[in-house]
Amino acid sequence: MTLQPGQRFPRTQRLILDVRHLSNGWVLVKTENGKSASDFRVRTVYQQQPIRYYTPKHAHFAIDLYGKWCASPQGAAAVFDAIVQVWQRHSPGLVLRNYRAATGGLPGYDLEYILNALDWILEQEDVNFTGRPTALQHRLDAELHQGGVQVPSGRQGSQLAMVLLQQVARGRHPVEAMLAANLDVLPMKRGRGAV
């Protein structure tokens, strides 16, 4: 099976908008989605025959980054720096070339996958962003500024995810970082009585 823009994604029948082929054989697929006219969904196809895929989420990358931090805090910092470069609209391919050596040998996801997937996932957050309380926005601005990260224009939607990743890259457990960011950690909420 060849996944190409303009075709329908198997099972969901959503229109494929863009495709990125990774060197490990995985394919990232951007498909239409329904939140807005510009909305899209990112899927990671890790097997094409028969097709097997999942929808990558922030939590996947936070957990992966924490595993990298446990193996090498310096390596995790380099991965986060590479993510920041992509967030600041540098090409994932160029960033990969610049950071490959500094992140080699780390456990978990390959840097090529991280940068390409997060490039689209963070863009998706910006597309669907409708605003946030001023106090929270100031807190996010301050936290990234304190870490030396410049927020690019038009990236406020993905800023919360970047703060989460920054906290994990500094050694904060992903569940604690997600709870602090008020992101949905359903098993934790159910443990507190949520349905």
Q: What is the pLDDT of residues 112-131, one digit of tens each?
A: 999 999 999 999 999 989 99
* pLDDT tens digits for range 122-180: 999 999 899 999 998 999 999 999 999 999 999 999 999 999 999 999 999 999 998 88
At residue 36 the predicted structure's pLDDT band, cuts being 50, 70 and 90, is confident
> In the listed set 8, 33, 54, which residue is the last one of a domain according to the structure?
54
In a domain, 66, yes or no: yes
Are residues 155 and 132 part of one domain? Answer: yes
* pLDDT tens digits for range 71-125: 999 999 999 999 999 999 999 999 999 999 999 999 999 999 999 999 999 999 9
Tell me how many domains the chain contains.
Answer: 2
Query: Does the pLDDT value for residue 190 go beyond 80?
Result: no
pLDDT in the model for residue 195: 45
In a domain, 143, yes or no: yes
Are residues 28 and 115 part of one domain? Answer: no
Are residues 112 and 32 part of one domain? Answer: no
Q: With beta carbons less than 8 A apart as the criterion, state whether 160 and 173 touch.
A: no
**The token pair that represents 49 in the structure block:** 């025959």
Residues facing 29 on adjacent strands: 19, 43
Are residues 38 and 124 part of one domain? Answer: no
In a domain, 195, yes or no: no
How many CB atoms neighbour CB 169 within 10 A? 25
Are residues 170 and 76 part of one domain? Answer: yes
Range of the domain at 25: 16-54
Q: Rounded distance, CA 94 to CA 82, Å?
A: 10
pLDDT in the model for residue 183: 62
In a domain, 2, yes or no: no
pLDDT in the model for residue 186: 52
Are residues 137 and 97 part of one domain? Answer: yes
Are residues 35 and 124 part of one domain? Answer: no
pLDDT in the model for residue 174: 94
pLDDT in the model for residue 1: 64
